[in-house]
Chain A
């Protein structure tokens, strides 16, 4: 069993296999830098709890069709229950802890949120200034005008 410590000093005890879903933690364990517990100063307890739930489910390496279906359903439900702040924290945690499947899932969720937005809405969302001249912007739009239909 491994002990993980969140930024707000809460501790979580998890099985080694579950913790090793995170490549970051895996390297720490393998490089023997681990004492009694692993400190994770970049992850709050709220987020870490969620990450652990995810890893526990995904640690089972069952390649059957049924299990794949079950995992997909779990992922959908898992993402549904999140508010914006938690989603943001989860993305950063998955990135820091290097859990590829969680990063894929969270980033894909965000991609799905923005895919139907217009360029104007995208600028607002990402706080980007439009630095095209009107002629340039028109030319770019014309290149693939059919994508706007």
Chain B
């Protein structure tokens, strides 16, 4: 039946009653529905109707053929010409670029939008770096909703980092956005936005961990999962932190002992890069140790969710070319990996084969999410064409006001991405730091940019490199 001609199909459907035809349409993949809107006026109306879309969503969820609606989703690199960038849907070998057609005036002057989460076809977008504007958007229906400013009392100091999570609470039948705001250690705030009530509320939670990512792409059993490093009582420990959408609590899962180095050796702990993902419906971790050609990847799977002893090493692999980062895992056990040349490959864990997917132009700040396309409407959602987009204003608290804050944060990000070792040096072995901090004390302006390193710094750098200690003077 897969090679049926249009004539043959015609004889099947031509005399079917209208109800049955509509029933057939509710079983189509999302992209087919979008194409068929241009068939005729009445189909446009039928296919946009809320009754149709809710039946469509039910069918696609119950029947197990959603694979056509599933894809990887990530933020594309933006060029200066298209300030408001786009996202890419990547499935099998096909990459489709989807523009975000939201001409929000504020965005023209600021950093681009990036994907912070996706759930049931709705995508959560936020502005780098602190999410001063957060939007929920369905690329298929083009409906969007800008989140209101949180009426939560704030400390005097500015936020340093924000982590977001977007998901669905089936008990409350509500979409929620979680925001963790980090200030100078140990201050932080945790808040939750509810789409139903369209408000933010703060929740008092103990946060003793620093999350690396800005969004969350590991969603399992109704919980977000982030890779994190503990501080406070969990100081220095590798953690997987989960947040439950229903009871709104954080929980910890210890990742396995990677054995890629001595886990008690601080340097080895720092050198092992690891990311969590969902592999074949279980929580998994891919740990990468070693450098250059010795780089090895171990894939660990938690066979019983939450049971510490159930971590098993599923497999190991090495690839010939240099790997930058593991991005995520698809439904079929295929791991997406970014190579050093920004090319992307899909690695099949079952067959241990690799498939090149070319240069996908993934933005360096972008995580990769597992997206399921849908036609779901957004409660309180608007269409860009019918909305005054000047009304989409950022939350001023999250708009950085230090002129060089972005520069400083970008440097931090750059360091993360260099294949460099970050080593802790004592003050007595770090003359550069000594010289720079003295310069800082003596300067008049709040910040000073030095483009060419002064010669005294270069000399000090040489000595630091060879490990010459010096006596600090004040």
Contact = CB atoms under 8 A, between A and B. Distances in A.
Contacts of B30: 147
A109 B1 contact: yes
B11 A85 contact: yes
Interface in B133-148: 140, 142
A95 interface: yes
B449 to A, nearest CB: 42
A110 B14 CA distance: 12
Contacts of B65: 108
B8 interface: yes
Contact of A84 (B8, B27, B68): B8
Contact of B6 (A87, A108, A125, A131): A125
Interface string A82-114: 101101100110010000000110011111111
Nearest to B8: A84
Contact of B9 (A103, A104, A114): A114
Interface string A111-149: 111111111011111111111100001001101101111
Contact of A91 (B16, B28, B43, B44): B16
Interface string A49-92: 00000000000000000000000000000011010110110011
Give the one of A109, A116, A147 with max B CB within 10 A: A147
B34 A107 contact: no
Contact of B41 (A124, A127, A132, A143): A132
A95 B32 contact: no
B41 A131 contact: yes
Given A147-B34, A147-B35, A127 B12 contact: no
B85 to A, nearest CB: 14
A115 B11 contact: no
Given A108-B65, A124-B6, A131-B41, A118 B35 contact: yes
Interface string B19-31: 0110111011111
B53 to A, nearest CB: 14
Q: Which 6 A-B pairs have the closest CB atoms?
A: A111-B27, A147-B34, A144-B34, A147-B31, A115-B32, A140-B38
12 contacts: A82-B1, A88-B12, A88-B13, A108-B65, A112-B2, A114-B32, A122-B36, A122-B39, A128-B40, A131-B41, A143-B34, A147-B140
